[in-house]
Amino acid sequence: MKFKHILFFLFLSQATFANIVLPEIFTSNMVLQQKSTVKIWGWAKSGETIRMSLGWSSETYVAKAEANGNFVFEVKTPSYGGPYDIVLHGYNKVVLSNVLIGEVWLVSGQSNMEWTAGAGIEGGEAEIAKANYPNIRLFTVANSSADYPQKDLNGQWQVCTPETMKQFSAVGYFFAQNINQNLQIPIGIINSSWGGTPAEAWTPAESIASNPILQKDAAALQEVPWGPVKTASLYNGMIHPIVSYKIKGALWYQGEANVVHASHYDLLLNNMITSWRSKWGYEFPFYLVQIAPYKYGQPEEGVILRNAQRMVEKNTPNTHMVVISDIGNINDIHPRNKKDVGERLANAAMKNEYYGSVKPISGPKLLTYELKNGKIILYFDSPVLNCGRECENQFEIADTSGEFKEAKVRVRSNTVTLSNSRINYPQFARFAWGNISESKLTDKDNLPASSFVTDNWWEFKGF
């Protein structure tokens, strides 16, 4: 009897190996990136011939599984549309139905990106009830860490309904809903996020190992009970399996778990972005949410990280940041206004990727500064600067003593001139510099500026 059982399981394993098997990212209801060359890959028996037909093409594609069982198709996708079927034939038949062609975005980060409408957001019940969008498709990557890059992950494409939206990333959903309604095209959102995790865990190991500063910071991270901190552990398990899946771009909402080494966060995030783009093979747009003011444990660690995020936008190509200091909650690290966050990201993407936005996307950005006649002059990109008494009180300057004092403020057009009668030779300026400082400098649309300190401060401090 035992021998028969052994033969049965041997037969079953051989039959399974002979069948076409696709990664979990390829299921019915999925969205493929429009007007692009996309890869569809999987595994089969060595030497097996696989034929694939696409609902939008009369062509039959043919591939042969390599000695290791891998096969891959590269196909052209049309402009948005569907639904279509994709059919693969080998020793077995695989049918992917209700497939759409549209725009695919990856969202990632920690708990503020992971946060669902079902977990509690502003206006959550009403938003859940109306979340019937058959042309929005949702894919949540199951939490998984790994010591080495994985070939597959767990998840399934789902049509957006009140039931599926309720358990999906709220920020990701509101972004998708906004883009879908503006462009009237299908949107696919892949959510790969894990609460409380540092960016090191989302960064390929070789990228951390190549930089001594990042390597030292990563080694100093303390294990926590709510998620992995080991370098590359989440990249390996939750990002690497989909690096061949064509995306339009990525959204990132993370940073709270990195305030311990906040002054190096711009270096870390730049490395992560660069490494992801290298793995995908192209420079996709990357959008990040600046973390909101919050009463962190150590003085300045939160605002230093916000400034580092500002520097990422400034120095990393094709990277854009939205500021949310006006819609945060200094007493709650999880602000419940997720709709405005998603919409601000969508407005930025509409302007930069789809050239269709007339909505405001960002508050004033510091472009440069100069030291002149005992004053510091700040130049912003906004022709209109709103700065009342609360705003003026947020500007400070310092000389080489490093002691910041409140500045006298003069606003004219796109410039802010700072001075202090007790500081003859000011060298440094900063704005809204505190963990719980909510920026009061706004543009004509009342969107806030980021907290900042002038770049020369970090050189002075030896960073």
Instruction: Report if residue 436 sits inside a domain.
Output: yes
Instruction: Report if residue 118 sits inside a domain.
Output: yes
Given the DSSP bridges, would you call strands 31-33 and 93-109 parallel, antiparallel or unpaired? parallel
Instruction: Report if residue 446 sits inside a domain.
Output: yes
199 φ, ψ (degrees, to nearest 5): -65, -25
Cis bond upstream, residue 426 (ω within 30): no
- Give residue 430's Cα distance to chain centre: 27
Look-up of token digits 């959550």: 124
Count of C-beta atoms within a 10 Å radius of residue 412: 9
Domain identity same for 326 and 395: no
Look-up of token digits 């609902």: 55
Task: Provide, for the chain, the percentages of residues in helix, strand and coil under a 3-state DSSP scheme, each rounded to the nearest 5.
Answer: 30, 30, 40
CA gap 127, 56 in Å, rounded = 34
Q: What is the CATH number of the domain that holds 436?
A: 2.60.40
Structurally, how many domains does the chain consist of? 3
CA gap 156, 29 in Å, rounded = 9
Query: By three-state DSSP, how is residue 297 classified?
Result: coil
Domain identity same for 320 and 277: yes
CA gap 352, 329 in Å, rounded = 29
Last residue of a domain, one of 97, 112, 136: 97
Domain identity same for 116 and 210: yes
Evaluate whether 397 touches 417 at the Cβ level (below 8 Å): no
Sign of CA dihedral 72, 73, 78, 80: negative
Residue 8's pLDDT is 36
Q: Which amino acid is at 426?
A: P
Domain identity same for 108 and 88: no
CA gap 144, 228 in Å, rounded = 9
Q: What is the CATH number of the domain that holds 33?
A: 2.60.40.10
CA gap 47, 33 in Å, rounded = 29
pLDDT in tens, the chain (463 residues): 344 444 433 434 444 456 999 999 999 999 999 999 999 999 999 999 999 999 999 999 999 999 999 999 999 999 999 999 999 999 999 999 999 999 999 999 999 999 999 999 999 999 999 999 999 999 999 999 999 999 999 999 999 999 999 999 999 999 999 999 999 999 999 999 999 999 999 999 999 999 999 999 999 999 999 999 999 999 999 999 999 999 999 999 999 999 999 999 999 999 999 999 999 999 999 999 999 999 999 999 999 999 999 999 999 999 999 999 999 999 999 999 999 999 999 999 999 999 876 677 889 999 999 999 999 999 999 999 999 999 999 999 999 999 999 999 999 999 999 999 999 999 999 999 999 999 999 999 999 999 999 998 888 887 6
Domain identity same for 319 and 380: no
Instruction: Report if residue 361 sits inside a domain.
Output: no
Domain identity same for 117 and 40: no
Burial 81-90 (b: 16+ CB within 10 A, else e): ebebebebbb
Evaluate whether 362 touches 371 at the Cβ level (below 8 Å): no
Burial 243-262 (b: 16+ CB within 10 A, else e): ebbbbbbbbbbbbbbbbbbb
Given the DSSP bridges, would you call strands 157-160 and 49-54 parallel, antiparallel or unpaired? unpaired
Give the largest Cα separation in the chain, rounded.
96
Instruction: Report if residue 261 sits inside a domain.
Output: yes
Residue 11's pLDDT is 37
Residue 107's pLDDT is 98
Instruction: Report if residue 207 sits inside a domain.
Output: yes
- Give residue 387's Cα distance to chain centre: 31
Domain identity same for 173 and 186: yes
Domain identity same for 90 and 107: no
Q: What is the CATH number of the domain that holds 172?
A: 3.40.50.1110
Last residue of a domain, one of 62, 78, 97: 97
Last residue of a domain, one of 306, 321, 352: 352
Rg over alpha carbons for the chain, rounded to the nearest Å, is: 25
CA gap 162, 39 in Å, rounded = 31
Residue 3's pLDDT is 40
Domain identity same for 257 and 339: yes
Domain identity same for 134 and 282: yes
Q: At 177, which helix (H) or strand (E)? A: helix 170-183
Evaluate whether 170 touches 217 at the Cβ level (below 8 Å): no
Burial 52-71 (b: 16+ CB within 10 A, else e): bebebeeeeeebebeeebeb
Torsion angle (degrees, nearest 10) of CA 280, 269, 353, 245: 20
CA gap 86, 68 in Å, rounded = 24
Evaluate whether 236 touches 29 at the Cβ level (below 8 Å): no
Tokens describing residue 275: 């490494």
Q: Which amino acid is at 6?
A: I
Evaluate whether 409 touches 283 at the Cβ level (below 8 Å): no
Tokens describing residue 27: 């299921």
Given the DSSP bridges, would you call strands 375-380 and 60-64 parallel, antiparallel or unpaired? unpaired
Instruction: Report if residue 2 sits inside a domain.
Output: no
Domain extent, residue 445, equals 366-461
Instruction: Point out which residues pair with 172 in neighbouring strands.
Output: none
Domain identity same for 331 and 397: no
Sign of CA dihedral 148, 154, 158, 161: negative
Q: At 112, which helix (H) or strand (E)? A: helix 111-114
Q: At 218, which helix (H) or strand (E)? A: helix 212-220
Domain identity same for 410 and 452: yes
Residue 44's pLDDT is 96
Tokens describing residue 332: 């709650």
Look-up of token digits 């309904």: 161
Instruction: Report if residue 1 sits inside a domain.
Output: no
